[in-house]
């Protein structure tokens, strides 16, 4: 694969995923290098002229009125990395840190920060030679950028902190030595430029949104499978119903469900039965799943804008040789989108759990209790529903919005903060929980299909039968009790791999998020 030029104007979420998860090589073009050099030369000149510029020749935050002499500017930049590296908790995953570094390079290479190309090359070397700084996941309030976590990243550039190299945790100095680099001597303004931005919340957000798009499609597939084995109807997906309430996600879900269940002998077998309407978890899937898809689509639009923005401060405009102080580092756009995304994802899990209950409850499904033969000696999928219920309940706590809270920092200079990094970390946790819930629904639906077709040899829909086939390649029919957690783990891995979605889309066309 050709290297990705991180100074490109339109960096996509797919680009970022390829760097974060596939280890794609990265570079900066000659055009980007020239842009960076032009601005860094301005900073060097202004320092010599003893201009007073926030964060370059002054202290930070509430200490912005303290002027720093030219001889101390380098020490100032190292001090900001050491003093701000106050993160706590477990390290962020390798993929997230790779995404953070890629976004940091992208922002710096746009040429508004004054950072030198030499510094950017260190970050490129980290990405291309598998040096992953140890970045604790907690400690950012999401304004003035993600200061604490990005400071930990910056420490490794100067031979401090810690990093993983090919999976081994070593000191920052050792990591640099292993790839043939000496500790970087930071120039004026570079310490601040390295930490002042929304790259941590944006990186997590990009990966979460990428996975949320896939998960929202998988929710439709799981729902379609449940609909069939619960003897539901697909008449509620008639496009005429949804065209008179044309929310994009609702329209997409109804269309997806129709195509997934097309040619279903199971659904055709009970047309004209006494049941008038299906339960809401089936009948209202377009309205419920659709609203969640709209939340995902909104978050994706916000993240698309953010990963192509400059969020540092101060901003240098080389064309006019001016400096402007602003607040692009404030994470409010991401915070609010992340909280909305959390609610959308939580609802996908909530409605899935209710379908799981319908599948395992013989009074609702007309199938063997807990989807197992010889009930009593076997418990079947009984506790799968318990696990789903626990995850859904946990999501209700995690979906509490983080953006509505603010604790002032820096002696009240920073008197409103976004908590955006907390918000998107909550989204990530909710997404993981919902992946497990949807996996349990898929297990239940496949088991129900086997039990149903033993007595009624009917084929599933064009899309649902492809999903069933993939599931059975990885998880066999449960004839008697076995360790259920292994089945759930296997199902989650299949869901994440995209194998089910790929097979279904080959059969019915693209499963859409908005229409």
The pLDDT profile of the chain, 515 residues, written as one tens digit per residue, is: 799 999 998 999 999 999 999 999 999 999 999 999 999 998 888 888 778 777 676 766 656 666 666 667 778 889 999 999 999 999 999 999 999 999 999 999 999 998 999 999 999 999 999 999 999 999 999 998 899 999 999 999 999 999 999 999 999 999 999 999 999 999 888 998 999 999 999 999 999 999 999 999 999 999 999 999 999 999 999 999 999 999 999 999 999 999 999 999 999 988 766 666 899 999 999 999 999 999 999 999 999 999 999 999 889 999 999 889 899 999 999 999 999 999 999 999 999 999 999 999 999 998 999 999 999 999 999 999 999 999 999 999 999 999 999 999 988 888 899 999 999 999 999 999 999 999 999 999 999 999 999 988 999 999 999 999 999 999 999 999 999 999 999 999 999 999 999 999 999 999 999 98
CB 146 within 8 A of CB 197: yes
Neighbouring residues of 492: CB distance < 8 A, sequence distance ≥ 6: 435, 436, 439
Answer whether 351's CB lies under 8 Å from 288's CB. yes
Encode burial over 10-23: b for 16+ CB neighbours within 10 A, e otherwise. Answer: ebebebbbbbbbee
* Residue 386, CA atoms < 13 Å, CB-side half-sphere: 8
- DSSP letter assigned to residue 380: T
Backbone torsion region of residue 88, taken as left when φ is above 0, otherwise alpha when ψ lies between -120 and 50, otherwise beta: beta
The residues that are catalytic are: 54
């Amino acid at each position: 694969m050709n290297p990705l030029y991180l100074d490109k104007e339109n960096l996509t979420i797919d680009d970022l995923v390829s760097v974060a998860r596939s280890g794609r090589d990265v570079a900066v073009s000659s055009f980007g290098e020239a842009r960076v050099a032009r601005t860094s030369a301005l900073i060097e000149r202004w320092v010599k002229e003893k201009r007073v510029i926030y964060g370059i020749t002054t202290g930070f935050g509430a200490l912005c009125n303290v002027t720093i002499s030219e001889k101390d500017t380098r020490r100032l930049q190292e001090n900001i990395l050491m003093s701000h590296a106050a993160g706590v908790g477990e390290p962020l995953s390798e993929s997230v840190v790779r995404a953070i570094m890629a976004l940091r390079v992208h922002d710096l290479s746009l040429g508004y920060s004054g950072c030198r190309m030499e510094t950017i090359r260190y970050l490129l070397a980290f990405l291309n030679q598998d040096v992953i700084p140890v970045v604790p996941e907690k400690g950012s309030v999401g304004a003035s950028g993600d200061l604490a976590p990005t400071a930990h990243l910056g420490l490794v550039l100067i031979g401090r902190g810690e990093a993983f190299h090919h999976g081994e945790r070593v000191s920052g100095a050792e990591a640099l030595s292993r790839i043939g680099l000496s500790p970087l001597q930071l120039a004026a303004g570079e310490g601040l430029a390295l930490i002042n931005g929304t790259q941590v919340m944006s990186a997590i957000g990009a990966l979460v949104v990428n996975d949320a798009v896939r998960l929202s499609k998988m929710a439709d597939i799981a729902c379609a499978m449940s609909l069939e084995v619960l003897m539901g109807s697909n008449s509620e997906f008639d496009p005429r119903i949804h065209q008179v309430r044309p929310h994009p996600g609702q329209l997409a879900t109804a269309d997806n469900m129709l195509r997934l269940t097309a040619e279903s002998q199971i659904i055709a077998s009970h047309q004209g039965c006494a049941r008038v309407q299906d339960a809401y978890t089936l009948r209202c899937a377009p309205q419920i799943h659709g609203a969640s898809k709209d939340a995902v689509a909104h978050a994706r639009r916000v993240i698309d804008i953010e990963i192509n923005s400059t969020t540092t401060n101060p901003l240098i405009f080389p064309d006019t040789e001016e400096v402007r102080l602003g607040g692009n580092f404030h994470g409010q756009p991401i915070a609010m989108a992340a909280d909305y995304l959390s609610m959308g994802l939580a609802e996908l899990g909530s409605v899935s759990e209710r379908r799981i209950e319908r599948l395992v409850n013989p009074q609702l499904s007309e199938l063997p209790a807990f989807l197992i033969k010889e009930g009593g000696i076997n418990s079947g999928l009984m506790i799968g529903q318990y696990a789903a219920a626990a995850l859904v309940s946990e999501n209700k706590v995690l979906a509490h919005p983080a953006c509505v809270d603010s604790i002032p920092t820096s002696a009240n200079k920073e008197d409103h903060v976004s908590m955006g990094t907390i918000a998107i970390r909550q989204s990530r946790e909710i997404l993981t929980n919902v992946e497990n819930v949807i996996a349990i629904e898929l297990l239940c639906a496949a088991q129900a299909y086997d039990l149903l077709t033993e007595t009624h040899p009917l084929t599933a829909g064009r899309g649902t039968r492809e999903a069933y086939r993939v599931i059975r390649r990885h998880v066999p029919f449960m004839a008697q009790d076995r360790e259920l957690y292994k089945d759930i783990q296997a199902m989650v891995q299949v869901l994440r791999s995209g194998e089910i979605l790929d097979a279904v889309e080959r059969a019915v066309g693209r499963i859409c998020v908005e229409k």
